[in-house]
Amino acid sequence: MMRKPLIAGNWKLNKTINESQQLSRQLLESLGTVSNREIVIAPVFTALNAVSEIIKSSSILLAAQNCYPATTGAFTGELSPLFLQDAGCQYVIIGHSERRQLLHETNAFINQKLIGVIQAGLKPILCIGETLQQREDGQMLEILGQQIKEGLVDLTTDQMATVVIAYEPIWAIGTGKTASSEQAQEAHAYIRSLLQEIFNSSVAEQTRILYGGSVKPDNIDTLMAQTDIDGALVGGASLKAEDFVRIVRFL
């Protein structure tokens, strides 16, 4: 089965509304009609609606960088998947390592978000990854296994059809270090084997697994040549139109 490549740009805490609109227009000009791969951008919450208006009739899709696992209620400062959908989102990034580390999000909490996103009719991009210490201690597969198993608890095989997984080795995020293509492929193949174990071979075959961690125009081609890498979750390089366009147009 051919999995459609997915390239997602996580803008993190960057770009005002005006700057987000400007970048969106640049991307629309270069990528608005690309159909052989899925393109997703994730601006800050305040820019979601403005960006949505610019890209709504194009092939570029909108993602939120986070959500809260409730629909409505007394949750000051939070946004539910329902409100993100209302702002024009199709995807939500869940469990990014920055939130796991800085805000101490647990696998159980991330699982609640994942289920909330799916129930709202949106698609989650579930981020997983190990620290440098965990890798050096030989714990990489154990950590990835735990994040996958606990993050996907109670999901049905039907629900898994909407889930995208992003493998981001924490030691490679924003550091300029990138996992080698072989290291990335090893992790991706392991994740796919886990999905087969937890669900079935069909789920394992259809689930897209992205690589994230210092993805740049000069390493995207070798990463995308790997059997089990189905796309990329791009950080810093997604903030420059020229760089992101080149990544989307990988060979």
Q: Is 219 annotated as a binding residue?
A: no
Q: Is 111 annotated as a binding residue?
A: no
Helical pair 107-119 and 140-151, crossing angle rounded to 10 deg? 40
Q: How large is the C-alpha radius of gyration of the chain?
A: 17
CATH number, domain 6-248: 3.20.20.70
Please indicate whether residue 53 is annotated as part of the active site.
Answer: no
Q: Is 212 annotated as a binding residue?
A: no
Stated pTM of the model:
0.97
Q: Is 32 annotated as a binding residue?
A: no
Q: How many CA atoms lie within 13 A of 144 on its CB side?
A: 25
Give the count of beta carbons closer than 10 Å to the beta carbon of residue 164.
Answer: 25
* CA–CA gap between residue 226 and residue 212 (Å, rounded): 14
Q: Are 125 and 8 in contact (CB under 8 A)?
A: yes
pLDDT value of position 36: 95
Query: Annotated catalytic residue: which of 96, 98, 105, 188?
Result: 96
Which amino acid is residue 243, in one-letter code? D
pLDDT (tens place) for every residue of the chain, 251 residues total: 689 999 999 999 999 999 999 999 999 999 999 999 999 999 999 999 999 999 999 999 999 999 999 999 999 999 999 999 999 999 999 999 999 999 999 999 999 999 999 999 999 999 999 998 999 899 999 999 999 999 999 999 999 999 999 999 998 877 777 789 999 999 999 999 999 999 999 999 999 999 998 899 999 999 999 999 999 999 999 999 999 999 999 98
Q: Is 235 annotated as a binding residue?
A: yes
Facing residues of 62 across strands?
41
Domains of the chain by residue range: 6-248
Q: Is 231 annotated as a binding residue?
A: no
Q: Is 236 annotated as a binding residue?
A: yes
Please indicate whether residue 96 is annotated as part of the active site.
Answer: yes
Query: Annotated catalytic residue: which of 98, 105, 168, 188?
Result: 168
pLDDT value of position 134: 93
Which amino acid is residue 206, in one-letter code? Q
Q: What are phi and psi of 231, to 5 degrees?
A: 160, -165
pLDDT value of position 1: 63
User: What's the Cα-to-Cα distance from 81 to each of 139, 155, 158, 166, rounded to whole Å?
Assistant: 33, 17, 19, 19
Burial 115-135 (b: 16+ CB within 10 A, else e): bbbbebebbbbbbbbbbeebb
